Structure 1
Amino acid sequence: MQRVTNCILIQHNKVLLLKKPRRGWYAIPGGKMEPGESIKESVVREYREETSLHLQNPELAGAFTFTVHNAGEEIKEWMMFTFVCNVSKGELTEHCDEGILEWVAQEHVHELPMAEGDRKIFEHVLSKSGMLYGSFSYTNDYDLLDMRLDPSTP
């Protein structure tokens, strides 16, 4: 099973997001864990690789399982560990191989095109405290089939 870490960096009431070219969806910067890495080591490394920013004291905000299904068969599964952070050091890179980095006002994040699971994660992190646990099931085209969240959200 693939393991992924990402971080919601919030500074000056803005969130740094990554606009992915394939779908035009916004995502949380991060990426795949390397063998032997802790989830915190992974998020710091991945975030720096994508943004050139050095996260300062990221805190775990959520742990999630994702599955993708095609014709009722599970074809992909991964775990994602989402952190939140309010302080970074360094200068934002001008070029990211993964897409376009963009600071977005917190109040506008919910208006952006993104995976529905990410939308629920943002709702929690931007308005509540504490850990969010969840499981999301998608079609091969990333239409949400099912989700379970703890604590549950409307």
Structure 2
Amino acid sequence: MQRVTNCLIIKDEEVLLLKKPRYGWYAMPGGKMEQGESVHESVIREVQEETGLTIKNPQLYSVATMTKASAPKPKDEWMMFTFMTDQYTGQLIEESPEGVLEWIPVAEIDQIPTAPSDRFIHQFLLKNKQHLYASFDLDESDQLISYRLNKNE
């Protein structure tokens, strides 16, 4: 199983996203956890590597499982830990190794291309600011086959 962390970084009414070259989708800054690393350590490291920013006080808001039966192990199942914060220091880098960094207005988040599972997470967290636990089944093209959402209300 792969484990990844990512973060919705919010500034005013905008969120920082990466436009990834693979599908042209926007994604939250983050990436794979390293062995022995906590989810908190991972999200801080990954965001810093991809954006140049050091996030402060990131709060865990979502834990999601993604399964992709067509992928070889260990890439057939992912666990994604999504944090949110509006606190950071540092300067945004001009060129990220992972894609193009953009501040996207929260009001436009539903209109940009994203992974279908990310769309659920973005919409729920930005609108409700509540915890979300989810499971997503994906096909070989990372399109959504089915999903289950368990909201903590």
Calculate the TM-score normalised by the size of structure 2.
0.94
Unaligned runs of 5+ in 1: none
TM-superposition CA deviations, 1:97-151 (whole Å, max 9, x none): 1110000000001100111110000111111132100000010011100100012
Superposition RMSD on alpha carbons, in Å? Answer: 1.6
Matched residue, 2:94: 94
* CA distance in structure 2 between the partners assigned to 1:141 and 1:109 by the alignment: 22
Aligned residues: 150
Amino acid at match of 1:119: R
Matched residue, 1:12: 12
Q: Is the 8 A contact 2:2 2:75 kept in 1?
A: no
1:1-150 correspondence to structure 2 within 5 Å:
1-70=1-70, 76-150=76-150
* CA distance in structure 1 between the partners assigned to 2:9 and 2:46 by the alignment: 13
Q: Is the 8 A contact 2:133 2:150 kept in 1?
A: yes
Q: Is the 8 A contact 1:69 1:75 kept in 2?
A: no
* CA distance in structure 2 between the partners assigned to 1:33 and 1:128 by the alignment: 27
Amino acid at match of 2:99: G
Q: Which runs of 4+ in 1 moved over 4 A?
A: none
Calculate the TM-score normalised by the size of structure 1.
0.93
Once the two structures are aligned, what percentage of the paired residues are identical? 48
Unaligned runs of 5+ in 2: none
Q: Structure 1 residues 148, 55: CA separation in 2 closer, same or farther (over 3 Å shift)?
A: same
* CA distance in structure 1 between the partners assigned to 2:4 and 2:35 by the alignment: 12
Deviation at 1:75, TM superposition (A): 6.4
Amino acid at match of 1:30: G
Amino acid at match of 1:47: V
* CA distance in structure 1 between the partners assigned to 2:51 and 2:86 by the alignment: 15
